[in-house]
Amino acid sequence: MNRGDVGKGTAYALCRVPVGWVGLVAREGTLVELLLRGNRADAEEEIAERHPNAVPGAGGVLDAAAEQLEEYFAGERRSFDLPLDLARLSPFARQVSLALANVPYGETVAYGKLASLAGRPGAARAVGRVMAANPYPLAIPCHRVMGAGGKLTGYSAGEGIATKAWLLDFERKGGA
């Protein structure tokens, strides 16, 4: 049974990546969440808390997401092409996410600049809150957002700042 896309059920899959574990959660052919955590137990626990009716699944968007993650960490993919449930985001969070999607692989953007790109100059702190709540780290590359002056700040996925630094270094080296 292809639980990744069947009916209104929610399915999940776990993937090991170089910076920890990714929990993928799908419903009706759409990725509803991508969790990046430092270990498998944390990923499983968060899925159980946030999606108590989710069942292990495979196929459809879950397999596509797992394949794209594998390609990304092999240095073969620079952006993700997945059906994300952006309707669950506020209009501002959608604007910020779409603006961030245009920041190229290996490059960074300051919170203030991203606020301007999203049409809200001066809303750097609000952008920070959007990034902290990003349901799709990696796919919406919040690790590319930096503090003023290029300062490495805030990252709630994986093991925090260490994961952000690893991802930025990985991308700067071209995924090698």
Q: How far apart are CA 136 and CA 121, in angstroms?
A: 24
Please indicate whether residue 15 is annotated as part of the active site: no
Is residue 66 helix, strand or coil? Answer: helix
Q: How far apart are CA 137 and CA 80, in angstroms?
A: 11
Catalytic residue among 124, 142, 146, 157: 142
Q: For residue 28, how many C-alpha atoms fall within 13 Å in the half-sphere facing its CB? A: 3
Q: How far apart are CA 150 and CA 119, in angstroms?
A: 21
Q: How far apart are CA 116 and CA 100, in angstroms?
A: 11
Residues designated as active site: 142
